[in-house]
Amino acid sequence: MKKKYYLKCTGKYLFRMITLLIAVSVISFVLVSLSPVDPVQQYVGAVPNVSVEQRAKIAEYWGLNDPPVERFFAWAGSVLHGDFGVSLLYRRPVLDIIVEKFGASLALMMTAWIFSGVLGFAIGCVMGLFNGRWLDKILKKVCFVMCSIPTFWIGIVFLMVFSVMLGWFPFGMSVPKGVPADEVTILQRIHHLVLPALTLSFLSFANVALHTREKLVDVLESDYVLFAKARGESKWSVLKRHGLRNILLPAVTMQFGSFSELFGGSVLAENIFSYPGLGAAVSAAGMYSDVPLLLGITLFSTLFVFVGNMLANIIYGIVDPQIREGCIK
């Protein structure tokens, strides 16, 4: 019975993932084809003396004269073979770039993710416990303000305060300048990671805290908590036995569901701190019309978000058997 259930779920997820990826590749390909930017002009760039015949040859070689549908199938076919094309910007295979940059991005995103999750949850619990009192009111106001702060501005403010004025942290990049890659210590990497990660976690921190607060307030107003209090349980034990158990699950699910915002935020954070990750790469790809890279990263980031949502559903299913019945809603 159980085995059958898991098999069915896996099948459903696979089907969803494949249809999603196909749809995203169609849509992003259409969007890219709509662009008025001339790819040949972008490729040739500032190089003078490129004759009309040479341009035509490049266009012919790239298949630019073929109808869009044909081009799409040519591209999709090679993607299925694991060939995402060659990046115009980096002059290297797109897949290599994605793999390499994703490592750097993952370190950044996961640090911010864990940081905002743990701290946001803790602050949310404090707010929930002190519901309606001054501490809660102040923290709530702070959270509301934090929700309205754009990631790129807070990044600039962090740079101004901690790098320029105080000099505590380096001015961007992921490793020190002028040091060979194999001599960079882990401490130096962490030193470079702190500010971008803080910037990125700012985005979801307040959301997590406010969400946790709502849930905890709901739980604390329930009858079973009233009964627990009547039995003489202390505030701490109520939180531990009744509060945390009920609010941890939605919090974890929400955290896994936030991969989309996390990736979006990393585009901004990485640009401000010149951090060499996927986020910086995707905006560079859009800026300099590097179509293969742009398409590759779009597909990859969609997969990343999908995996996050899938993990959220799976964890929910494992922890809460009631949900399991429905597989995916």
Between CA 220 and CA 271 the distance in angstroms is: 43
Does 251 interact with other proteins (rule: CB under 8 A)? no
Within residues 23-82, the interface with other proteins by CB under 8 A covers: 23-24, 27-28, 31-32, 34-37
Determine which helix (DSSP H) or strand (DSSP E) holds 321, and give its type and residue range. helix 321-324
Counting residues that bind other proteins (by CB under 8 A) gives: 51
Q: Are 278 and 242 spatial neighbours (Cβ–Cβ below 8 Å)?
A: no
Residue indicated by tokens 């559903």: 313
Does 328 interact with other proteins (rule: CB under 8 A)? no
Does 306 interact with other proteins (rule: CB under 8 A)? yes
Binding mask 156-195 for other proteins (x = CB under 8 A): xx-xx---xx-----x------------------------
Q: Degrees (nearest 5) of the Cα angle 281, 286, 287?
A: 95
| Chosen residue from 272, 281, 293, 312 binding other proteins by CB under 8 A | 272
Strand, helix or coil at 274? coil
Does 147 interact with other proteins (rule: CB under 8 A)? yes
Q: Are 262 and 202 spatial neighbours (Cβ–Cβ below 8 Å)?
A: no
Does 327 interact with other proteins (rule: CB under 8 A)? no
Between CA 253 and CA 312 the distance in angstroms is: 5
Q: Degrees (nearest 5) of the Cα angle 99, 100, 105?
A: 90
| Chosen residue from 287, 318, 319, 320 binding other proteins by CB under 8 A | 287
By beta-carbon proximity to other proteins, the closer residue of 108 and 239 is 108
Strand, helix or coil at 102? helix
Which residues are near other proteins by CB under 8 A? 20, 23-24, 27-28, 31-32, 34-37, 144-145, 147-153, 156-157, 159-160, 164-165, 171, 259-261, 263-265, 267-268, 271-272, 279, 282-283, 286-287, 289, 294, 297-298, 301-302, 304-306
